Amino acid sequence: MSEEKFDVIIVGGGIAGSVTALLLARAGLEVVMIERGNYSGAKNMTGGRLYSHCFNGIIPDFAEIAPIERKVMHERVSMMTETSNFTFDYTSDRLAQPGKESYIVLRGIFDRWLAEQAEKAGAMAVNGILVENLIIRDGKVCGVIAGEEQMFADTVVLADGANSQLTTKAGLQRKPVTPHQIAIGAKELFELDEKKIEGRFNLAPGEGSAWLFAGWPSGGMTGGGFIYTNKASVSLGIVVTAAEFINARKSVNELLEQFKAHSAVKPLIEGSKLIEYSGHMVAEGGYGMLPRLYSDGVVAVGDAAHLVINAGYTVRGMDLAVGSAAAAAAAIISAKSRGDFSEKSLSMYKRLLDDSFVMRDMRRFRKYPRFMENRRIFNEYPEMADEIFAGVFVTDGAPQASMFSKIFKTAKKNGLRNLAKDCIKGVSTL
Amino acid sequence: MNILVCCKIVYEEQDISVLPDRGLSYDRAELKLSLYDLNAVEQAVQLSGNIRALSIGGKNKDNGKIKKNLLSRGPQELYIVTDEALSGADTHQTATVLAAAAKKIGFDLILCGEGSADLYAQQTGIQLGELLGVPVISSVSKLTAADGKIIAERTADDSVDVIEAPLPAVVCLTSDINEPRIPGMKDILAAGKKPVTEWSLADLGIAAPEVTVDVISILAPVGKDRKRIIVEGDDKATELFDNIKNEVRS
Amino acid sequence: MKILLFSDNNENYGELCAAAGTLGGEITAFIIADKNDAGNIPVKKAFYVEPDASKLFENYYASFKELVFNEKPDVILISATKKGRYMGARLAAALKTSVLTDLSDMEADGNGIKGAQMYYGGAAVRTVKSKGMAIATLPQGSFAPVYGKAEDVVNIPYKDDGSLLKKVETRSKAGRTVNLVTAKNVVCVGRGVTQKEDIALAEALAKAIGGEVGCSRPVAEGSGFLDTSRYIGVSGLTLKPDVYFAVGISGQIQHIIGINSARIIIAVNKDKNAPIFKVCDYGIVGDLYKVLPILTKMFEGN
């Protein structure tokens, strides 16, 4: 039997997989990327927005050549109840600084392009094949199994996403993932004229809006709603933590329908055409719930390594995927030069991660998952916002109390102690 | 045995959208290998021999992933003829170019699918045989080859004839003759290394063949206004029956 | 206009004559039959070749081709059967033209013809016109046949086609071939039907309403549930049923042949958001395994 051996086999052709492949191929290694979808991106989904700093040094002219939808110039965050919505909208030139911008992307288009860059650099890509298992000899991962076929490599990179089964088989994911560490995302894509999008979302041509909603969209459960503007379509969806969802009274479909029907959202997608519906899992455990990231002959990157930050007002997975891919590639290139692919040799991966924005930011946001479990953020506080602003803006001719006393009255109703506690906790989490 | 397999690259019909004027838009349509041609590729592999794939089309059909897909299914090499003039070619134009290419490549046996996913005319393969002046059989549901001869079972609407013919010959296969295999990792990887030869009409030494059919329009049909009287729930089956019993005349 | 007819099935000439009648002009026919049968088609001249059991259908091509080159008809109309398409294709290649396949709504256009074809399995309709000598294959069931006698019958000697195709043996086909095109009522099953045994539910309903069972390609392909003659979709069948039951068919792919031409469409699907409910006259959101037996029983009792 001829054993065709590669330097590296990458399982998964998403963002983490493609960037790892790209960097390894550039360094002259023989690398193959195996993607289960018919093309990279076929099985991926994002809201969503990519922070482009991660491509600095990897794809220098990223802003010019990447197939992005729009550059985010409006950051919007809302607190929504069934009948009200309070939004703040931040726009600034600072959002557009080179190397610091963020872009709205569609994965079917973006991932495919990224995989092509890897192939151009010399990586091989195999699509439509699901890697079902790993070949482990003497405790060392040395290849993959797909159907009846086996393929060997010095190192296997697990880039197979949030629902990776292989991290468990590789001994990296020791404990089963709990429903608290996973969120379910569902999204609909609405086709809408470019100019209409710009008019409704108050954007200059090419500009985009990133918008997150707390409260009503997730039915009061931990999670949120989101709207992102693409070039000629609008992405709209919700994310809900799986643990809460198990006991939910409404289905994902019902939550999406009521989000779309909200008076603050409906006019935005009026006259648009639904062209796509997708769902995906998000690994949200945070820093405290990370699996082991490497072992003999194997490393995990991106969503498979649970490198995702959901801090409510910001959701990051793609830039962390790229960062982890860069660290993994560097570690593997170094390991190759020594001809040593043991756990000890590959530990360089973790060290590089720790020194990079990936772990720095994972640590910084580590308190968020706990904080976000606070139901008040999704129930009481949006209602409080509604109360306060109704008190401020609704004018009915009756004697007017001072603004301070109106606010204080509402706050007191919700429990001043809780409010104070949450504020302090929120600030310390930030 | 030198086997030449003809494959058509078509649009994914599910991606085709209808414009307000009822015209068709292929803007979002992915390209793919016509399903029926996969049977031809599979049959070539089962007969075994020196297998080459041939495809012709307009420039828009030039697609690296498709070429790799085709090569991962068994052919040892691929020939592609692309030219602006071949965009939307009718069956005679297609057959003419295929014949020129087949003569240049050389063959003992040419295999074609039953029809193509777009028009399903079931014409091109047969026209090809006639133009090449070799025996041509269509609707073949079973095929074996040995000693410079083929034995084919031709399944017409009411009977099956077993036909013997000498090579070279052209055979058009039915879609139930075999189950096209799914390429594995190694097949896909090997595909990238197989030779692809690209020709223009000039390379074949022929001028663009004349158009033989006048296509006046291609429009989505006018939707008939339907009643849309719908009931919900298994228990409403009797209500449905009441609605339709007078409509159904046996 | 000079029109030449051909069918591999001698019963189909009545319909072809009716079709030719709509074009107007002199109608002749090529038929593989004996003198008597040749005399029974209502054409001006019936050119016949004596049938020979030792010959393959394909072997008669040369005789047909020679007749065409001698007679130089303006239009050749052929029944859209497998054998008919074969003849048409070879002739087209010899005449350097293309066949207008599965043509419907045919009409005369100068000395040629115009008509409509299904494109992408019915997602669109192509309107086409012939250039030069017109050859068209016509699906059955579009014209009411006319009957009569030929004014003249002419024997054509068999011409060896030199194609070297030899008949080894003939078998009749196993299983009943059905002609869905002529079926008045059709019960079509889609992916919602998961087991071969479940086809029986559709068959029972079809029997109760005096109809036939058809299926969408995914159901029949590879699983061998139903004979290929029952495929609906992408095969160019011009289906114009009176009543069309769409059972377990989502309707997502608009190429469900005949869905536009059916008089009444009845949908059975458990997904209330299935697109089929937008194009049906009557429908039920329910489990086909429960609904079909109930409907069958009620139709049987009716």
Tens-place pLDDT, residues C263-286: 889 999 988 878 788 888 999 999
B75 or B227, which is more confident? B75
Chain A residues in contact with B65 by the CB 8 A cut-off are 39, 127
Q: Which residues of B touch C294 (CB under 8 A)?
A: 237-238, 241
Q: Tell me B120's DSSP state.
A: -
| pLDDT band for position B171 (cuts 50, 70, 90) | very high
Residue A267: is its pLDDT beyond 80?
yes
Residue A248 has pLDDT above 90, yes or no: no
pLDDT tens digit string along C20-64?
999 989 999 999 999 999 999 999 999 999 999 889 999 999 999
Q: Are C275 and C250 in contact (CB under 8 A)?
A: yes
pLDDT band of A20, cuts 50, 70, 90: very high
Angle C143-C148-C150 from CA coordinates, rounded to 5°? 110
CA distances (Å), origin B15, targets A150, A193, B31, B49: 35, 19, 10, 36
- Predicted pLDDT at C302: 67
Contact A151 B186 (CB under 8 A): yes
> Over 80: is that where the pLDDT of A374 sits?
no
Q: How confident is the model at residue C8, as a pLDDT?
A: 93
Quickly list DSSP for C162-222.
Answer: ----EEEEEEEPSS----GGG-SEEEEE-TT--SGGGHHHHHHHHHHHT-EEEEEHHHHTT
CA closest to B186 among chain A residues? A149
- Domains belonging to chain B, first-starting first, are 2-221 (3.40.50.620)
A354, A294 Cβ separation under 8 angstroms? no
Measure CB to CB from residue B231 to each of C210, C284, C287 and give the nearest one: C284
Q: Give the best-scoring range by mean pLDDT among A274-288, B22-36, B190-204, C169-183.
A: B190-204
Tell me what pLDDT residue C250 has.
Answer: 76
Q: Which amino acid is at A228?
A: Y
CA neighbours within 13 Å on the CB side: how many for A106? 22
Check if CATH label 3.60.21.10 holds for domain A180-283: no
Nearest to C247 by CA among C210, C300, C200, C302: C200
pLDDT over threshold 60, residue C236 = no
Same fold, A5-70+97-177+285-371 and A180-283: no
In the structure, what pLDDT confidence band is assigned to residue B134 with cuts at 50, 70 and 90?
Answer: very high
Query: pLDDT at residue C243 above 70?
Result: yes
- Model confidence at A1: pLDDT above 50: no
Stretch B120-129: mean pLDDT: 91
Q: Which residue ranges make up each domain of chain A?
A: 5-70+97-177+285-371, 180-283, 375-429
Question: Within 13 A of A152's CA, how many CA atoms are on the CB side?
Answer: 9
**Nearest CB to C169; choose among B122, B162, B210:** B162
Q: Which long-range contacts (CB under 8 A, 24 or more apart) does A117-120 make?
A: A117/A18, A117/A22, A117/A59, A118/A18, A118/A19, A118/A21, A118/A22, A118/A25, A118/A33
Average pLDDT over residues A351-380: 84
Neighbours of B206 (CB within 10 A): 14
Can you tell me the mean pLDDT for B159-170?
Answer: 94
- Selecting from C93, C209, C286 the residue whose C-beta is nearest the C-beta of B236 gives C286
Of C92, C165, C168, the CB nearest to B92: C92
Is A126's CB within 8 Å of B189's CB?
yes
pLDDT score of A194: 96
ipTM for the assembly? 0.90
Question: What does the alpha-carbon distance between residue C163 and residue C56 come to, in Å, rounded to a whole number?
Answer: 11
**Predicted pLDDT of residue A116:** 95
Query: Is residue C68 predicted with pLDDT exceeding 80?
Result: yes
pLDDT tens string C118-168: 887 677 889 999 998 999 999 887 788 999 999 999 999 999 877 689 999
Instruction: Read off the pLDDT band of B27 (50, 70, 90).
Output: confident
Contact C48, C29 (CB under 8 A): no
Where is pLDDT greater, at A428 or C27?
A: C27
Share in percent of chain B as helix, strand, coil (round to 5):
30, 30, 40
Give the CATH fold of the A5-70+97-177+285-371 domain: FAD/NAD(P)-binding domain (3.50.50)
**Average pLDDT over all residues of chain C:** 86
Write out pLDDT tens, residues A222-246.
888 999 999 999 999 998 888 887 7
Name the DSSP letter for residue B142.
Answer: E
Q: In this structure, what is the dihedral angle of CA atoms A213, A214, A220, A222, given to the nearest 10 degrees?
A: 110
Which comes out higher in pLDDT, residue A419 or C202? C202
> Can you tell me which residue has the tokens 């054409």?
C43
B17 token code pair: 């959208």
The torsion angles phi and psi of A23, rounded to 5 degrees, stand at -70, -40
Q: What is the pLDDT of residue A313?
A: 67
Mean residue pLDDT across chain A: 90
Spatial distance between the Cα atoms of C202 and C193, rounded to a whole number of angstroms: 9
CB A10 within 8 A of CB A157: yes
In A, which residues are within 8 Å of B192 by CB distance? 124
DSSP state letter for C100: B
CB C252 within 8 A of CB C239: no
Does C191 score more than 80 pLDDT? Answer: no
Could you tell me if C283 lies within 8 Å of chain B, comparing CB atoms? Answer: yes
Contact (CB, 8 A) for A412 and A420: no
Q: Pick the residue with more confidence: B47 or B18? A: B47
Structure tokens at B24: 């068709």
Residues of C in contact with B228 (CB under 8 A): 277-278, 280-281, 283
B187-228: per-residue pLDDT in tens? Answer: 999 998 999 999 999 999 999 999 999 999 998 877 778 888
Per-residue model confidence as pLDDT tens digits over A164-196: 999 999 999 988 888 888 888 899 999 999 999
pLDDT of amino acid A238? 92
CA distance C130 to chain B (A): 5
Picking from B139, B170, B168, the residue whose alpha carbon sits closest to that of residue B153 is: B139
Contact: A151, B65; criterion CB under 8 Å: no
Does C238 score more than 60 pLDDT? no
- Rounded average pLDDT over A22-30: 97
The set of chains that have 3 or more CB pairs under 8 A with B is A, C
Largest distance between two CA atoms of chain A:
90
pLDDT at A367: 77
Helix (H, G, I), strand (E, B) or coil at B170: strand
pTM, rounded to two decimals = 0.85
Q: Is the Cβ pair C89, B211 closer than 8 Å?
A: no
Residues of B in contact with A34 (CB under 8 A): 185
Interface mutation vs chain B, best among C284, C294, C300, most B CBs within 10 Å: C284
Contact C173 B160 (CB under 8 A): yes
Q: Are A203 and A195 in contact (CB under 8 A)?
A: no
